[in-house]
Structure 1
């Protein structure tokens, strides 16, 4: 049995991890997998760079950030991070306090983000620009992952923030406003991907391929109609919270169009948006046009026979 340490944010996109564990898919493929939850993207990048964790489940932009040495983790000279599979397409919504009627009303407000130089901050910046707001009019402050940003919103420490599912549903159930869905404004966007370092992956190809196979088994199990009730029960048990919110979040995840990526590929249009936004907003500025710098799907092809 090979051991594998995985790091991710707390959230619904971890559903295949829970399924692979409980249904024995990891064990079937010769793996003992441990999942650790990170508080923010900076700690996640450090864990992956040092080898403390071998696989990270996080936004594709985080891979680009640290390959281009534009992150906040203090990693000099860039990294050899890469994405080896797609997990979702960034189900992000701009959620705001109940008294904020629209995006224009955020002028003069401070907004919470995970980190100042990673992709979701750039998504938010673009949404604000498209709504006629400048960076000076809506300053950002660093809070951490989705759970921490939800807490900041509920406590009134921020007027608005980008949230994924189910934190967006939690906020909505408490009367907070959904001002816009990110992809409705900016187009396709590559969301959470499976990521590793190229050096580790090359030296542990069999282990990474086994992980992808177990993940694919979990995705197929989640998508099977006869497992619908079991998927819902597992999701409620792992995520907690109000059953109605959990059920709505689970329904989104298993949706064949908007939910978890069934074929584990990464949408080229979503990749292009990530690179466009990073080319526009990252410092130091540079044009980013080559997805091959950040992606290697050969492990996925070997795992799935594609």
Structure 2
């Protein structure tokens, strides 16, 4: 009997499958501009989409594009949610800082600009901007060329107006509210808060320019190739968050999450933000799909306004699709 018992115990031990500890999620350092356009990231964090896709995301808010791009190039951050124009500028040696980012690429689209030209209450028309001061993040990167083009199409070129650097969108918004400048480009939903205080929206970039690729997820190619699975997981989680936001059944929870992250936004501003950021035509890019036509518009503006002048590549030069394609296959 004892022999039989020992035999059964030995057999049972063979059936026990050794377990291995669960792999911890890959930690990603992500740098973003502050604002409601980070809604998909908030959703992906709150709903556990990042963790489900094997990543843990630590968010840093940038004071401006120079800080963001220089530190992305130096490897202090893994992913930057930034204007694709910033990636192009630093890749082509046209950035505000001389540091080069020769392997900077976009791997996912976020939006088509969300850009509005907002002015102080006293400036009610483009003619009123003559002799006034407009602010930009940096003269050679980001959305400065969009601003110059909008003004140009409405009969204004330097020295008809002065240009001052004022930092990222939050810093420009605060400076505009303090009337340190007379106009600037804001990303939605900042214009909602400005309009509530009597400021004016003179133009929407999408209406003036047509297709325009705004924010993207930008990385260094060398980092992306070494961290493929983590990057694919980030893209997949972000795309799922955008899908979740567009589902009307999630509106109440989405609005509550928005208010949690922007507690000072009044209720009417939150409702306006929902309409703007989730507009079926001009809202977040569904599934994180980039617009190559929009990238083409970015390149045409850079060719017109950037210094030093140089021949830029086709849109596909600045976007690598294989990581996005891998994310969408799963």
Short-chain TM bin: over 0.9
1:158 and 2:181 are equivalent in the alignment: yes
Aligned to 1:296: 320
Checking the alignment, whether the CA contact within 8 Å between 2:32 and 2:62 is kept in structure 1 is yes
| 1:139 equivalent among 162, 166, 175 | 162
Matched residue, 1:103: 126
Q: Deviations over 1:29-77 (max 9, x none)?
A: 111110110000000001211111100001110111111011123304x
Which residue of the partner structure matches residue 222 of structure 1? 245
Pick from 32, 53, 68 the counterpart of residue 92 of structure 2.
68
C-alpha distance in 1 between matches for 2:204 and 2:276? 14
Q: Which residue of 2 aligns with 1:90?
A: 113
CA distance in 2, matches of 1:49, 1:153: 30
2:221 to 184, 192, 198: 198
Task: Give the C-alpha shift of residue 287 in structure 1.
Answer: 3.0
Shift of 1:268: 2.2
Residue of structure 1 equivalent to 2:41: 17
Correspondence 1:245 to 2:269: yes
Q: CA shift at 1:270, angstroms? A: 1.1
Q: Does 1:170 align with 2:193?
A: yes
Identify the residue that residue 60 of structure 2 maps to in structure 1. 36
The separation in 2 between residues aligned to 1:259 and 1:117, in whole angstroms, is 26
What is aligned with 2:289?
265
CA distance in 1, matches of 2:149, 2:240: 36
CA contact under 8 A between 2:31 and 2:80: conserved in structure 1? Answer: yes
| 1:263 Cα offset (Å) | 2.6
Q: Tell me the TM-score normalised to structure 1 length.
A: 0.97
Alpha-carbon shift at residue 147 of structure 1 (Å)? 1.2
The structure with the largest alpha-carbon Rg is 2
Q: Name the residue aligned to 1:116.
A: 139
Runs of 4+ in 1 over 3 A off after TM superposition: none
Query: How far off its partner does 1:3 sit?
Result: 0.7
**Which has the larger displacement, 199-208 or 282-291?**
282-291
Matches of 2:247 and 2:150, distance apart in 1:
36
Deviations 1:88-138 (A, max 9, x none): 000111111111121122111111111111131100101111111112111
Q: Which residue of 2 aligns with 1:51?
A: 75
Alignment partners' CA distance in 2, 1:253 and 1:97: 23
TM-score for both structures, normalised by structure 2: 0.90
RMSD of aligned alpha carbons: 1.3
Give yes or no for contact 2:107–2:219 (8 Å, CA) kept in 1: yes
Shift of 1:184: 1.4
Residue 293 of structure 1: how far off its partner (Å): 2.0
8 Å CA contact 2:118, 2:199 repeated in 1: yes
The answer to whether the 8 A contact 1:81-1:197 is kept is: yes
Whether the 8 Å CA contact 1:235–1:250 is kept in 2: the answer is no
Q: What residue in structure 1 maps to residue 308 of structure 2? A: 284
Distance of 1:134 and 1:224 partners within structure 2: 43
Q: 1:289: Cα distance to partner?
A: 4.1
What is the CA distance between 1:190 and its match in structure 2?
Answer: 0.5
**In 2: Cα distance, 1:67 partner to 1:289 partner:** 11
For structure 1, the residue ranges without an aligned partner over 5 or more in a row are: none
Q: Does 1:254 align with 2:254?
A: no
Alignment coverage as a number of residue pairs: 305
User: Matched residue of 2:280: which SS?
Assistant: coil
CA apart distance, 1:242: 1.3
- Cα deviation, 1:240-268, whole Å, max 9, x if unaligned, reads 22121122112222222221111312112
